Structure formats: C-alpha cells, structure tokens
Structure 1
Amino acid sequence: MDAVDLPVQPPVEPMLAKAVATVPAEPGTWSYEPKWDGFRAVVFRDGDEVMVQSRSGKDLGRYFPELLVSLRDELAPRCVVDGEVVVPREVDGRTRLDWESLSQRIHPAESRVRKLSEETPAHFIGFDVLAEGDRALLAEPFRARREALSDVVHPKAFCHVTRTTEDAEQGTLWLTTFEGAGLDGVIAKRLDGKYLPGKRDMVKVKHARDADCVVMGYRIHKSGEGLGSVLLGLYRDDGELQMVGGAASFTAKDRIKLLAELEPLREGDRVNDGEPSRWNSAADKRWIPVRPERVCEVAYDQMEGRGNDQRFRHAVKFVRWRPDREASSCAFDQLDVPLKYDLSDVLEGQ
C-alpha cells in the first residue's frame, strides 16, 4: 500500500481509558458513549488509500477486505478516525455483537479470510476524529471533534457514528441495557479534553461479576515451570460439565503453588481440545484434566453464547478457592442474564 499523506500520520497510539467503578457525574464535564466490544482501530483514509491500524500498530486491513471497501465508500476522502471494528450477528431474532465471529477473522489463510468476509462482514463504529482534510484535530476539545465526526463518517451500511449523551443518568442506564446487544460498558470523555495518544485520559466503566467454577484441568506455563492457566467448567442442565474458559496471569510464586495443589488431582493424559487460540496458532493447546473436585471464584465481565452453551467472553481473574462449595452446585443458573437488546437500538440516533 502506498503511504498516506495526512496531517496525522500512522502509526498513532490510540488514547486509552482507565477503569473506574461508577460512571462519573460532574455536570457539563463529560460526554458518555457505549463501550464497543471489538478491535480498536485507527483508520487513515487518503483518497483510495486506506489503512486500518490496530491498537498495537499492526495493519488489520488484510483480515477485513470488505471493510476497506466500506471505508472508501462511507468516510470522507481525507481523514483519520478512531473507532472499533465489530461483527454483528443475529441471535434469537435480535442482532448483537459477536466476539467469537470477530476473533475468527484473524486467520492466516487468505481463502479463509475471503470466505469469512462474506459470511460475517465487519462494521466500523467511529467515535473520534484525529484529522479532517488538511487539519489535525488532536489539540481540539472533544466537543469539537465530536461535531467533526458527523462530517467525516457518512453512514450507509457498514460504518456508523457512536451514540453519545451528556446525561450521566442516561450513560448509567446504557451500562445495563446495551449489554444485551453485546456491548462492553460505558466510556466517559472530557468535553474539553484534547486527544492524547497513548494516555489514559478517558474513563471506562465495565461490568464486574463473579462466578464459582469447577476446575477441569490446567496447562503448564510456557516456561515449563508451574501452572500457566486453569481451565474452568460449569454444569449444564443435563448434568454434563462444560468448559467455559480459563484463568491465567499468575505470579511465578502462585504458578508453583497452584500446580502443587492441582497435581494430585491429575486424571489421565494430556488432551488437545481445550480453548484454541486463533491469535497464536503455534501455542500449545494441550491441557491436563483433573478430577472435578476443586471450586474457585473468578471475576469476569461478560459471557458469550446462550443458555448452557456459554463461555467467558474475555479472560477471567482467579480470585480465591471456595472449599465451602460443592462442585456439583456450580451451574449456569448462577450467571447474571443481561437484558435482550438489539444492536439497531444502540445505533439509533447516531
């Protein structure tokens, strides 16, 4: 791809958000918007040249060829837009974001990418503008950048402008209602704030939940020392134990301690059908099953799927062992069920 010639050049570190427990509520200070659960992307368009840059600076364009076409059709000829790449799918008669379908799009085979681009086309949600025409907007307050966003993004089918409100009560309501459409929380931006690349100058409020899960197995850490992750399960209505995800990111000391606790429960040889990683096909996917006797509490934000066919959408955090819980009591019925909400209702009023 030829280099773009814009007042803000790639790569750009996206402005980030720090997590807080509640939606900030100082009147006249904040703008609130839904937190989209997709791939963060800064889009650079200079005529026919379009680059979709990931948060880490990589070019996502090869994984979303259909999105490059949409961006040429639905963005201003010369602009830099911050936003999110998402994949919506219909579930039970409602359209919602589908993280699983989105993650499948990162595939090394070009033929697979083309097939998925037709089956699960991606959308782009714009929520900030870094440049318009020959003018850089980084130093402009967000209220001005927000006005420019409507001039830069021309929604037709696959590009959208996120909803915003300056009403803290409305923002808090979105935190619960929009989850039913697969969204991830609420973002608050300072109305007079500049765009600060790489700085955590925004605020995010995400769902915080806990669940008691059965430890089904574990993986050895990539260093070969201690436990790398524990694999977790919940009991279905039919009594079957179903894997729902895993917890990792333990300290070196805890890895050794956890392995010592689980090794006596080891049951059989390694198996190779646990949580496959689409991001790293070379990762060792083998795991060691254990007798389903230990229960642990984990912190999570959302589930993906329906009923007895759910998984943790993102990585979960190991909190503590629960020796007071029987493994057989750890079922799907303990999970909080979000309100059903259609994606079109979230995009309404853009």
Structure 2
Amino acid sequence: MDLPVMPPVKPMLAKSVKGVPAADSVDGGLSYEPKWDGFRCIVFRDGDEVVLASRSTKELTRYFPDVVEAVLANTPARCVLDGEIFLAIDGRLEFDALSQRIHPAASRVAKLAEQTPASFVAFDLLALGDESLMDEPFSVRRSRLEDALASASAPVHLTRTTTDAAVAEEWFGIFEGAGLDGVVAKALGKPYAENGRQMLKIKHARTADVVVAGYRLHKTSTDDRPLLGSLLLGLYADDGTLQHVGVAASFTESRRAELVELLQPLVVDTTQHPWGQWQDADAQASSRLPGGQSRWTGTKDLSFVTLEPSLVAEVGYEHMEGTRFRHTAQFKRWRPDREPESCTYGQLEEVARYDLDDVLT
C-alpha cells in the first residue's frame, strides 16, 4: 500500500457542547451532520488492497469482509476515507448486533458477514489519488468527498450535511428514533486535525431514578483500601423483576473510598439477591443480569458485591440500547425520597421511531 496518507492515522475527535451552536459562532461557519452510533473507521484503499482502521488505529479489516467488498465496489481506486461502520436492523442502528461482529473465529466472521451485513457511511476525505487533503479546509474536503462518492450506492453511504442550524436542531430531535447519537458540527474553514478535538458534538442528555443493587471494586482497590469501581444499576420491569440496566462510574479516588464505606451496611449474601444467579449461563441468557462476558471484556473479572436493593440514585444517561443504557451513566445524587419499586422503565422517555433509510436518503 502506497498512499499520500498512510496508516496509522488517529481520527479527528469531538468535544461535547450543550445545544446546537449557531452557524456563525465559528469563523468561516459550521457544517452539521448526524452523529452515527457505530465503529469509527478510517478506510485506506490502494487498488485492490483495503485496510479498515479503528479509532485506536487497530485493524478491523478481518472482521468486516462485507465492508471491504463494498469499499472495493463503491469508492475511488486510491483514497482515504473517514467514517463509521454501522449495522441496521429494521430501519434502526443496532450497536449490540454490530459488536457481535468482532469474533476471533474466521468461520463465525464469515457467517455473521452474511447474516448481519454492515454498512459504511463516509463523512470526510483525507486523501484522493496522489493528493493528501489533510491540510485543506473541511469545505473543500466535503466537496471533493461528494464528487468521489457520486456514484456510490448502499452499503456505502455519504452522510448528509447542512449549514442551517435550524435543520440540525430538527435532525437532533427526530434522528434519535433511528438510533443515532445526536449531531456533530464541523468548522468549514479548518483542516483535518489528527487526534484533535476540533469538532463539536451535541448528544442527548436525560436523567432516571435507578436502584443501586451492587458494585464492583476498582482495579486499584486493595484489602487495606477498598475502592469502588462502579455502581450496578437496575430498573423494575413490568413483571416485577429487577433488571440490570448499566453502571455508573467516574468517581474520584476519595469518593470511591467513601462509597465503599457508605454501602457496607447494605451488603447481602448472593443467595438473597435478585441477581444472585449471575454466574449461571441460562440465567445470563435472560439479559436481566450483570456479569456476562463479552468480546470486549475478555477475561476481565466481572464479579460484584451484591447490595440490598433499597437505595435509589438519580443518574444521567444519553439513550437506551434495547433495555439498557447505551453508555456508562453519570451519578447525579441520592434519592432517599424515592421507593425502589417506583424505579421502572415507565419513567423513561419514549423516542418516536424514525426510519434509518430516511436519514440516509
């Protein structure tokens, strides 16, 4: 492979802001686009050779032979594209299904590529032919990207953009129904900043009252100084069972020590806990319990301390992936005024469904 921009390349990143910024808030103006929920991927193509690189510069190529095939059929012979690998089911992004595509067995990779094929959406162009575009402003890179993918078709897509903040606000409100994360704003006049937080991201922020039903110890915890790593959170389903919905983390070291001490009176024997069967494979299949191993956690110790499910906390979250929080929740405060049984899925905002095909049109 011999391209003007060669791997490894760390993609340009975004910093979070509240609310869609005005188009003229940055010199040269802003361009807005949907924020995809998949695997960030930089595509390097030199003729018949294709490399798919992750955000951390690790190769994704072997896991997505279907995307490699699509790139060969729908992109210029020599190019470097920045974008996202995503997987859609019934008109909605499905991150859990996408994560299943990362598998060590070649036979399983081939089977999943056929059963749950992925797609690629491009949102930047870093090189074309013998020319690097890294130093060009985004307005130029976007125009060249549109020309480069003018004849592309699914499963390779060009993300839509707008310079109208009002349209971006509308997208922020409706595209979540198709599983998208929010909106990204890019400065039209700036070059590509490798590993720099030059973009702005606007994501959904919500709160929920949840039951604190356990905790994991931090990796730096010792017998002499136990430190909390994360709180295990639950919500009651319609059938009255307490379902694991995610974790809250990101505490200071002093706070981690305080929380372990605070929670000690609530520690109960595993046999007396609604998640006591977490190590049982059949029980894990219900998706109601914490502790299931994944390809991401590998051999990581997922054991936890079981707590009497009597403590309620308010947490911040972005959106749901099925019945769980898509990302780590943020602890806000304790809610001693709330009864645990009142912490149900009914409190969560229901997002109006939106068809992903309409986003890609």
- In terms of mean alpha carbon deviation, does 219-228 or 37-46 score higher? 219-228
How many Å apart are 1:254 and its aligned residue?
A: 1.7
TM-score (norm 2): 0.90
Q: Matched residues in 2 for 1:321 and 1:256: separation?
A: 17
Task: Give the 5 Å matches for 1:168-247.
Answer: 168-224=165-221, 225-247=226-248
Q: Confirm or deny: 8 A CA contact 1:76 1:151 kept in the other structure.
A: no
Task: Give the 5 Å matches for 1:106-145.
Answer: 106-145=102-141
How many Å apart are 1:38 and its aligned residue?
A: 0.8
The equivalent of 1:152 in structure 2 is: 148
Q: Matched residues in 2 for 1:113 and 1:144: separation?
A: 37
Q: Confirm or deny: 8 A CA contact 2:291 2:303 kept in the other structure.
A: no
Amino acid at match of 2:33: E
Q: Which residue of the other structure, out of 338, 341, 361, is the alignment partner of 1:325?
A: 338
Q: Confirm or deny: 8 A CA contact 1:23 1:205 kept in the other structure.
A: yes
Task: Give the 5 Å matches for 1:1-350.
Answer: 4-27=1-24, 29-90=29-90, 95-153=91-149, 154-224=151-221, 225-269=226-270, 271-272=278-279, 273=284, 274-276=290-292, 277-305=294-322, 310-348=323-361
Q: Matched residues in 2 for 1:146 and 1:44: separation?
A: 17
- In terms of mean alpha carbon deviation, does 57-66 or 256-265 score higher? 256-265
Q: Confirm or deny: 8 A CA contact 1:30 1:188 kept in the other structure.
A: yes
SS at match of 1:239: coil
Cα 1:101/1:219, change in 2 over 3 Å: same
SS at match of 2:255: helix
How many Å apart are 1:41 and its aligned residue?
A: 0.8
How many Å apart are 1:109 and its aligned residue?
A: 2.4
SS at match of 1:150: helix
Q: Confirm or deny: 8 A CA contact 1:81 1:126 kept in the other structure.
A: yes
Give the number of equivalent residue pairs.
337
How many Å apart are 1:111 and its aligned residue?
A: 2.5
Please provide the CA RMSD for this pair.
Answer: 1.4
Q: Matched residues in 2 for 1:137 and 1:44: separation?
A: 14
Q: Matched residues in 2 for 1:290 and 1:231: separation?
A: 9
How many Å apart are 1:112 and its aligned residue?
A: 2.3
Amino acid at match of 1:38: G
Structure 1: runs of 5+ lacking an equivalent: none
SS at match of 2:81: strand
- The percentage of aligned residue pairs carrying the same residue is 54
Q: Confirm or deny: 8 A CA contact 2:41 2:82 kept in the other structure.
A: yes
Q: Confirm or deny: 8 A CA contact 2:42 2:52 kept in the other structure.
A: yes
How many Å apart are 1:275 and its aligned residue?
A: 4.3
Cα-to-partner distance string for 1:273-298 (whole Å, 9 max, x where unaligned): 51434212111122222111001111
Q: Matched residues in 2 for 1:14 and 1:328: separation?
A: 44
The equivalent of 2:287 in structure 1 is: none
SS at match of 2:18: coil
SS at match of 1:102: helix
How many Å apart are 1:247 and its aligned residue?
A: 1.3
Q: Confirm or deny: 8 A CA contact 2:101 2:112 kept in the other structure.
A: yes
Cα-to-partner distance string for 1:173-207 (whole Å, 9 max, x where unaligned): 10110000000000011111211111111111000
How many Å apart are 1:69 and its aligned residue?
A: 1.1
Structure 2: runs of 5+ lacking an equivalent: 271-275, 285-289
- In terms of mean alpha carbon deviation, does 120-129 or 281-290 score higher? 281-290
Amino acid at match of 2:208: A
Q: Confirm or deny: 8 A CA contact 1:176 1:339 kept in the other structure.
A: no
Q: Confirm or deny: 8 A CA contact 1:245 1:275 kept in the other structure.
A: no
Q: Matched residues in 2 for 1:112 and 1:317: separation?
A: 35
Q: Matched residues in 1 for 2:84 and 2:106: separation?
A: 22
Q: Confirm or deny: 8 A CA contact 1:11 1:57 kept in the other structure.
A: yes
Q: Confirm or deny: 8 A CA contact 2:23 2:31 kept in the other structure.
A: no
